Chain A
Amino acid sequence: MGRKLDNQEVPMQKTVIFVAMFFATAVFSFAGGKAESATSTAPQTTTVQYAFWGNPVAIGVEDDIIKAFEAKNPSVKIEPVVSGYDDYHTKLLTLIAGGAAPDVMRIDSYFFADFLKAGALREISDLIKKANINLSSYYPEGVEENSHNGKVYGLPWGTAPLYMLVNLKMLHDAGLSLPPMNWNWNDFATMVKKLTKGSGPEKQYGFAIPLQNISSILPFVWENGGGLFDKSRQHFTLDQPAAYEALQKLAALFSAGDMPQDSLNANGDVLARWFVNNKLAMYEGAASDILNLQKVPGTEFEAIAMPNGTIKQTTVYKSNIVGISPETKHLNQAWTFLQFLRGPSGEGETLYMKAHRIPPTIDNPKYWAMYADPTKYPKLIAQNTTEISDTYGRLLPLRAGWLEVQQMLTPALQSVFLGQMSAESAMKAVAPKIQAVLDRAGKK
């Protein structure tokens, strides 16, 4: 009758040992946990929650800023709410939906229009006026990205262009020199062809475009006189000739083998790999891509404007926002902190610059001196960025439903690049669906 396992006795002892070890560790960590919660905040302090994303280095910078702020404002304690970028907005949206919105929060500009529509950021024009903050201290793109109808909803963070990163070594090897800032598509295409050489694993490419992010194709659409949306941002216009011709020209580069296959699915890392190994001559990158490239010594590159032709304003400019929740119970403290963090006279910008993570949001040469090392590549970044801001920069036509549009557009673009459809038919096919998204997202 019995169906006993013969080896029952021996494993039993091992189980007991295991359980005991686990229990001991658990109790140990419980004790540790209790000790943590025993350190309560000192009386009379207000706690302000501040939400932001980052990796350990970025978080370190925020910690420094927080410490400096708390030293100057002992009655306020800043409680960081952190996660990595990928899932940050999920966490933030959950907090807000659950009635636990952080007092101060950073959001990616992709989400601004929807936050604005829902009233999820407190308008701070009145606070700015009272504090005499001069908004023109910032790069205008940053302020514009945070405003709507003249009202300001936050202070800018990480205002920067999407540069064209150019591999100087590959250029010089091909007998080419750095293109001028006002180059056009033909200059670009010629360079790409000249810089694509070889075959097989040793092949080098002139250009790569990360299709996952539709910001990457817009400069070329703009250069050709087209646009993603019309001026009112109510209508999808990639199905117009000026736009789809540009897309077709790009796709032609891909099918001619001037771009690596990775372009379909690439992110910054993958393209950086090609670039630092001198197998990719140019690609669009942001300040964070520059950080990656700088980690590999001997990488000689510059950051310039995108090809712009007669249109001029074709280089994507982007800026994120740090704002205050309308539900905050500590408006004064939150505003004080926000000024410290992002204000023209706050210490936040200095600390960000010293950490070299994001280019200056405040238009001041002293910050450029802190951020950029003119002996390190990209050596020309300070003057190039200012020139881009003055002449070549253009904000993304962000609006409600942006990410949904991107989600529909990327597969269509990938089909075009893969040669499954022409740009014209792909854009015409996807236009009604995207228009429906725009109409729906723009409602209420």
Chain B
Amino acid sequence: MEWAMIRSLTARERKDASAAAIFLLPNLVGFLVFMVGPTIGSIAISFSSWSLLNAPTFAGLQNYSDLLKDSVFWQTLGNTAYYVFVKVPLNMFLSLLLASFLNKEIHGRNALRTIFFLPMVASSVSVALIWQPLLDPTSGMVNKLLSFIHLGPYPWILSPNWAMPSVIMVATWKELGYFMVIFLAGLQGISSTYYEAAEIDGANAVQSFWHITVPLISPTTFFVLITSIIGSFQIFDLTTVLTNGGPANATNTLVMYVYQAGFKFFRMGYASAVAYALFVIILAFTLIQNQLSKRWVHY
């Protein structure tokens, strides 16, 4: 009997593989040509010295050894890490909370969901352009409103200490709705029977949240965590337009450095190397999260 099972398993796996080929093919072909191809190209560029105006010249590992000694690299990495490690947990927590509230039957739920999602619809550039005047310390709306409740005035984007928190605040404003939507999709998948059973057992809202919602939504949480970390490490538009990396380099991020090096300093080879250093860092984090996820993600 076990022999039959093993044989059928292998047969099934063979069938799986050929089916997989068909299911994968459309995406895989495009992926290889338009994603992997350029990636390999840019890895090659990272081993070169390229001004863009002339042909690239081979540079071996020079770029990589240079970036280890580059204080700007380390500083932008630090700024980026600051951004990621504050914004990601903050956003995730707030958006999960929001999603669970807006998953209930309450009046005006659709309107509220739309409102929270609205900021996501604008590009990061537009968001930064909208927020810049609001954060003006002397007469911006934010300080004005805060003054009504006797708070402030705060320097926001004009102070090196406040600049990154301001960026995090604006980024949260923008992305809250986005992660809320993803969590909502995940919450749809939780059967109501769990909650009904819990209610019968006398659980209150907070207990239901921690013991039902959080575990059952863990695959979605994992997805949100990974994509949020990956995306946040690459922060670029917001800091460029809102603060231009300042003041005093407080909000200069890694990808900004990559872009400047490649397109303003005529060092595309070096820029690519910095980008791949970032890649290695993000990959390391993702793998760590993946390992840790085996403990808290339930499929």
Contacts and interface: CB of A to CB of B under 8 A. Distances in A.
Contacts of A400: 266
Contacts of A3: 191
Interface residues of B, number: 31
A400 B51 CA distance: 11
Contacts of B139: 201
Interface in A77-118: 89-90, 93-94, 96-97, 114-115, 118
B204 interface: no
A29 B188 CA distance: 36
Given A401-B265, A414-B248, A201 B138 contact: yes
Interface stretch (B3-11, B154-162, B287-295): B154-162
B20 interface: no
Given A89-B263, A201-B139, A415-B248, A261 B158 contact: yes
Contact of A264 (B52, B158, B249): B158
Interface in B155-188: 155, 157-158, 160, 188
Nearest to A421: B248
A119 B54 CA distance: 8
A89 B252 CA distance: 20
A58 interface: no
A10 B247 CA distance: 53
Interface residues of A, number: 35
A4 B244 CA distance: 50
Nearest to B125: A86
A89 B158 contact: no
Nearest to B155: A261
A264 B137 contact: no
B264 A89 contact: yes
A265 B53 contact: no
B260 interface: yes
Interface string B232-258: 000000000001111111001000000
Nearest to A261: B158
Nearest to A120: B53
Nearest to B45: A97
A411 B248 contact: yes
A420 B248 contact: yes
B244 A114 contact: no
A431 to B, nearest CB: 14
Interface string A382-407: 00000000000000000011011001
Contact of A118 (B54, B155, B244, B263): B54
B247 A265 contact: yes
A401 B264 CA distance: 9
A85 to B, nearest CB: 13
A366 interface: no
A433 B265 CA distance: 15
A383 to B, nearest CB: 36
Interface in A222-263: 260-262
Given A114-B266, A212-B244, A418-B247, A262 B53 contact: no
Given A404-B264, A418-B248, A118 B51 contact: yes
Nearest to B66: A440
Interface string B110-136: 000000000000000000000000001
18 contacts: A93-B52, A96-B52, A97-B268, A119-B53, A120-B54, A261-B137, A261-B155, A261-B158, A264-B246, A404-B264, A407-B260, A407-B264, A410-B246, A411-B245, A411-B247, A411-B248, A414-B246, A441-B266
In the complex, the 3 A-B pairs of residues with the closest C-beta atoms, listed nearest first:
A118-B53, A411-B249, A97-B52
